[in-house]
Amino acid sequence: MADNATKLSINTEVLRKMAEIATLEIDGVASIAKKNYDLKDAVKAKGPMQGIKIESVNGALELGIFITVKKDAKVKEVAAKVQENVKDKIQTMTNTAVTRVNVVVADIAFDKISTDEE
């Protein structure tokens, strides 16, 4: 019998979008932060500023996610929920192991101060 197995390949940008959606689902996350990579990472990436870094290591994925949290968020809880949700969503959607999800809280989002007096 011939082996009719097919190979699935998922673009890194699609994986990045999956991780972004899973991250933004978590209450307390204001946005994906923009991170300045070093020169080596800037050359490898399409642009020098990206808030999600994905690496394939021995067939498994490792992610680095830089987030901005809301000012009243419990940072440790939010980061743990992001790790869990991103890992679960990517493994479920791609059937690829996720061995590490590093979450870096890069900024805090404060409410905009209104300068208009009404």
**Higher pLDDT among residues 9 and 3, named by residue:** 9
pLDDT in tens, 31-73: 999 765 555 555 555 555 679 999 999 989 999 999 999 999 9
Q: What is the rounded CA–CA span in Å between residue 75 and residue 69? A: 7
SS (H, E, C) 53-69: EEEEECCEEEEEEEEEE
Report residue 118's pLDDT band, with 50, 70 and 90 as the boundaries: very low
Q: Where are the domains of the chain?
A: 12-109
15 vs 115: CA distance, rounded Å: 40
Reported CATH class of domain 12-109: alpha beta
> What pLDDT, in 10s, does the model give residues 16-30?
999 999 999 999 999
